[in-house]
Amino acid sequence: MSKVVHTMLVLIQDHHDLLMLQQCLASLTKTKNSFCVFFNQGGLSKDALHQELQKFDLSYVILGDGENKGIPFARQKCFEYIWEHRSDCTFITEIHPDMLFPSNWTEPLCKFLEQNSKEPCVSPGILTASGEWHPHQKGTSVVDMPSVPNEIISLLKWLQLPKITEGFVHPVMHRADLLQQVGGYDLNHLKGKQGYEDDYLLLSYFRELDLPYNWKPKVNLQSMVYHKTMAQRMHFTDIEHEANVNLTGLIQRFGKQAVDELNRIHQTELIRSKPAKKVVVLGENTDETCEFGQHAVAVIIETGEEPLKHQGFQKRDLHTLSKPEITIVTHPFWVTKHSELKPSFLISMLNDANDQIPRYFQFYKECLYALSNVIIVNNEEDFFLQSLRYDSVFFIQSTRNPVQNTSLYPFSEKEELLNELFSCYKHKECIQHIRQQQIHRKITVLKRQLKWDVHNEHIIGTLAKYLYLNGDFQEAEKYFFEAFARNVAFQRDDGLLKYYPWISLSQCRQYKLVEAINSFGILAVTDENKQIYECLLNEYNAGRFGTAIAMLMFALGDWLYADQLVREDSTIQSMDLIRNIYLKMKHYLKPATDSSLSVFYQLNHLDQIKLKGEIEELQGEKHRAIHYYLQTACIDELQLDAVVRMQTAESYLKSST
């Protein structure tokens, strides 16, 4: 018995067709233990076909009497034969005579279907005669095609990638039981000889198997097959007519919305995304599940002694690189190098482990975050903290605690996010949209969890924070108070510091300023906070509400909102506040604007020189940075620390590259 049974329709019209069939079968025999069902559509008699097939080490059966009754008919006959006579098989393929198969090409496909029990079918990647690599690099010729089958086959092996992508091509491997469950090609609806039969089958799967709304067929690139022509050769004069017959049948069965569904099914990420982008990774790639996105040609500049584990990456000297579109920084010290590349998009993706670097980490992390277009963190608390400070912060759980169901879905969360970001990084709204979706999903999940675990302080507190980030301040406030109550009830005693800042923030965002200031007051037990509280009361009592709000937001960590207020509300005149926001958010590292310059010129002499030093340092101008830092040290000796900091970062990078 064979686990896999192949089905192939054979139509031999000339010597060339015969040669292709021979080459195809020769390659197919390299994969053992399969059975083939051939359907003779014409050109050779059944005996002649037998004679041909017997030259190969194959178990097979031939169906059909040499008449071409169309593709759906022929395939369906093959399926029905298998369901009846080879019911022990697990997988059924649809293959073609113009293909070449590397040995054991079915194995990765079987494995994928075994591991992902809900997927009804999977295709390998294919290389076409024009050297195009389907489906993931459709439209671009990526290799010069050799002419000898053996060379083609070795090229196929070389092109294999440990990746799953979305898409549908032939050959395809079906799960035998699910194919039978949906009935294969229903000839009542597919009366035409060709056209829409693939779509019909995909829709059957989608509808009958109740697949997830966003389901799309998958391609496992660990298996690569050569498929000479992409289009079926048509000899029917009225192709359009035959296809229309099938489309009518399809709509008859699935209704008009079927067309939309089909559009969605075929809207794979490949169609959505652009060709590969050049991504440079600065720092270690310690994340085993993340290969920096599927459409990235990644060049990794790695520190540490760990050898590179991933395919497709090259380790390169920074100086030999041309300007990348996207740079990913995974270690804070590397931010000092990013200026050499001047990417148009900067992603920071620091590891938790980086926190163990004791000194100077914070400074460079803040610089990196100030400069980043996207910040990806792997700690949820850090996510909340940074989300209040910077735009476009994403949270992807640390890989050390893998999310459930990763085996069901081919990409790690991080890769998925990067793929999405790469495809739309030029549009800020699009990035915001992705982030909004992430937050919505979290809120839904947490609310569901909360139903089963109503007293779970952590769930309540986390939900409240997501609600806050989502702009649902009233609901957030309610949940923060609830989390606080749970904390008190369970005698955890850290509720005040944990939730009161958020309570105050939520109240403030609802313009419940009196409540917000009172909450701040309750929290204000340190000398620093007492001082701020006094200022808040003064501002409030003087009727400077805008200043009070911005001051409170900033003190409690919502830098983004404080910054926005300061920019938009001309009544806010507190220079201290404006200056503190400017310094903390490191606006000076970004391209200067009139307003940022006006803040700069109000700084004292020492701060001005210091910031000039930081600007130079982050632009890679070491000598100039040192010159400024020396001048600050002439005023205050402790400022010399900046030079020591530079030296520390540099020696770290040197020792590890």
Partner 1 sequence: MGTDHTISILTHSFLDGYNHQITKIFAGGLERYIYELSLLITQLGYSVEIHQLSFSEAFETHYEDNKLENVRIVGHQCSNLEHIPELFNKMACEASGQLIYASCIWHAIPYKKGSLGICHGINWDRIELVLDTKNAVRDNVQNALSSLSKLVSVDSHFLTYCRSTSFYTDCEKVELIPNFVDTTQFVPRSSPNKGRFRLLYPRRISPERGILQMMAVADILLEKHGDIEIEFAGETIDGAEVTTAFHFWRNHHPHGERIIHNVYTFHEMKNAYRDADLVIIPTIYSEGTSLSCLEALSSGLPVVSSNVGGLNDIIIDGFNGRLVTPTVARLESVISELIQNPDQRKELAANSRGTAMAFDMKRWQKQWIAVLNDYLT
Partner 2 sequence: MRPVRKKEGNRLTAIMQVRNEENRFLEKVLQSLTDVVDDMVIVDDNSTDRTVELCKSFSKVKEVVELKESSFHEEWVLRSRLWKEVCKYEPDWILSIDADEMFEENVQEEIRSLINQDQFDWVAFRMYDFWGSTTHYREDEHWNLHKRHSKMLVRHLPGFPYYYLQQEHHVHRIPFSYNALWGSLSDVRVKHFGWAGSMDERRKKYERYKQIDPEGKWGSLVQYESILDPNPNLVEWRNRE
The site partner of 488 among partner 1, partner 2, none (C-beta below 5 to 8 Å per kind) is: partner 2
CB-based burial label for 59 (10 Å; 0-12, 13-18, 19+): exposed
Residue 209, beta-bridge partner list: none
- Chosen from partner 1, partner 2, none, partner binding at 630 (C-beta under 5 to 8 Å by type): partner 1
Closest by Cα among 332, 97, 360 to 233: 97
Are the CB atoms for 295 and 276 separated by under 8 Å? yes
83-91, 97-105, 161-169, 527-535 -> range binding partner 2 (CB under 8 A) = 527-535
Between 451 and 490, how does the x/- string for binding to partner 2 read (CB under 8 A)?
------------------------------x--xx-xxx-
Decide: 39 and 78 in contact? Cβ < 8 Å: yes
Nearer to partner 1, 12 or 646 (CB): 646
394 by DSSP, 3-state: which?
A: strand
- 487 binding partner (options partner 2, partner 1, none; Cβ < 5 to 8 Å by kind): partner 2
Distances (CA, A) of 248 to 79, 188, 193, 256: 23, 11, 13, 10
Q: Does 495 bind partner 2 (CB under 8 A)?
A: yes
What's the CA gap between 31 and 223, in Å, rounded?
13
Alpha helices in 470-544 (DSSP H): 473-489, 495-509, 513-523, 527-541
In sequence order, what DSSP letters do the residues of 396-407 get, joined into one string? ---TTSPPTTTT
When CB distances are held under 5 to 8 angstroms depending on the partner's kind, the choice from partner 1, partner 2, none that residue 147 binds is none
Which residues within the stretch 619-648 sit at the binding site for partner 1 (CB under 8 A)? 622-623, 626-627, 630-631, 633-634, 636-637, 640-641, 643-644, 646-647
Q: Which of partner 2, partner 1, none has residue 18 at its interface (CB below 5 to 8 Å by kind)?
A: none
What's the CA gap between 335 and 619, in Å, rounded? 9
Total Cβ atoms within 10 A of residue 107: 13
637 binds, among partner 2, partner 1, none (CB under 5 to 8 A by kind): partner 1
Residues 535-564: x/- map of binding to partner 2 (CB under 8 A)? Answer: --x--xx-----------------------
Q: What is the Rg, in whole angstroms, of the alpha carbon atoms belonging to the chain?
A: 31
Please say which residue, 404 or 541, places its beta carbon nearer to partner 2.
541
Q: Judge whether 122 and 223 are in contact, CB under 8 Å.
A: no
Select the residue interacting with partner 2 from 142, 308, 445, 525 (CB under 8 A): 525
CB 589 within 8 A of CB 367: yes
How far is residue 329 from each of residues 202, 226, 304, 392, 656, measured CA to CA in Å? 41, 38, 15, 15, 15
Query: Measured between alpha carbons, how far is 20 from 25 in angstroms, rounded to an integer?
Result: 9
Cα of 94 vs its chain's centroid, Å: 31
Least distance (Å) between residue 537 CB and partner 2: 6
Tell me the residue length of the chain.
Answer: 657
Distance CA 176, CA 91 (A): 5
In terms of CB distance, is 37 or 642 closer to partner 1? 642
> Residues 11, 41: contact at Cβ < 8 Å?
yes
Instruction: Name which of partner 2, partner 1, none residue 561 binds, using a CB cut-off of 5 to 8 Å depending on partner kind.
Output: none
Of these, 68, 336, 386, 519, which contacts partner 2 (CB under 8 A)?
A: 519
Q: Which entry of partner 2, partner 1, none binds 357, CB below 5 to 8 A by partner kind?
A: none
Considering only 271, 522, 592, 634, the residue that binds partner 2 (CB under 8 A) is: 522
Q: x/- string (CB under 8 A) for partner 2, residues 563-602? A: ----------------------------------------
Smallest separation, CB 482 to partner 1 (Å): 50
The nearer residue to partner 2, 400 or 530, going by C-beta atoms, is 530
Instruction: Supply the DSSP string of 347-369, one letter for each residue.
Output: EE---GGGGG--SSHHHHHHHHH
In the bound state with partner 2, the residue whose beta carbon lies nearer, of 97 and 495, is 495
Q: Locate tokens 């075929």: which residue?
A: 266
Q: Which does 530 bind (CB under 5 to 8 A by kind): partner 2, partner 1, none?
A: partner 2
State yes or no: residue 489 binds partner 1 (CB under 8 A).
no
518 binds partner 2 (CB under 8 A): yes
CB of 476 to partner 2, least distance (A): 15
Q: Which is nearer to partner 2, 39 or 540 (CB)?
A: 540
Interacting residues with partner 1 between 585 and 624 (CB under 8 A):
622-623
CB closer to partner 2, 77 vs 486: 486
Question: HEC states along 213-234?
Answer: CCCCCEEEEEEEEEECCCCCCC
Q: Which is nearer to partner 1, 537 or 640 (CB)?
A: 640
401 scored as a contact of partner 2 (CB under 8 A): no
- Determine if 644 is a binding residue for partner 2 (CB under 8 A): no
| By the rule CB under 8 A, 321 interacts with partner 2 | no
125 binds, among partner 2, partner 1, none (CB under 5 to 8 A by kind): none
In the complex with partner 1, which residue's Cβ is closer, 555 or 633?
633
Helix H or strand E encompassing 444 = helix 428-452
Smaller CB separation from partner 1, 488 or 640: 640
Q: How far is the CB of 616 from partner 1 (least distance, A)?
A: 12
Q: Which of 19, 142, 514, 644 binds partner 2 (CB under 8 A)?
A: 514
For residue 410, give the DSSP letter: S
Instruction: Give Cβ neighbours of residue 269 (< 8 Å, ≥ 6 apart).
Output: 165, 166, 294, 419, 423
Total residues interacting with partner 1, rule: CB under 8 A: 17
**Is the bond into 171 cis (omega within 30 degrees of 0)?**
yes
What is the total count of residues that contact partner 2 (CB under 8 A)? 24
CA angle 653, 654, 657 (to 5 degrees): 80
One-letter identity of residue 439:
I
DSSP state letters, 280-313: EEES----TT--S-TTEEEEEE--SSPPP--TT-
Decide: is 517 part of the binding site for partner 2 (CB under 8 A): yes
Q: Which does 647 bind (CB under 5 to 8 A by kind): partner 1, partner 2, none?
A: partner 1
Binding-site ranges for partner 2 (CB under 8 A): 481, 484-485, 487-489, 491, 493, 495-496, 514-515, 517-519, 521-522, 525, 530, 533-534, 537, 540-541
Binding-site ranges for partner 1 (CB under 8 A): 622-623, 626-627, 630-631, 633-634, 636-637, 640-641, 643-644, 646-647, 650
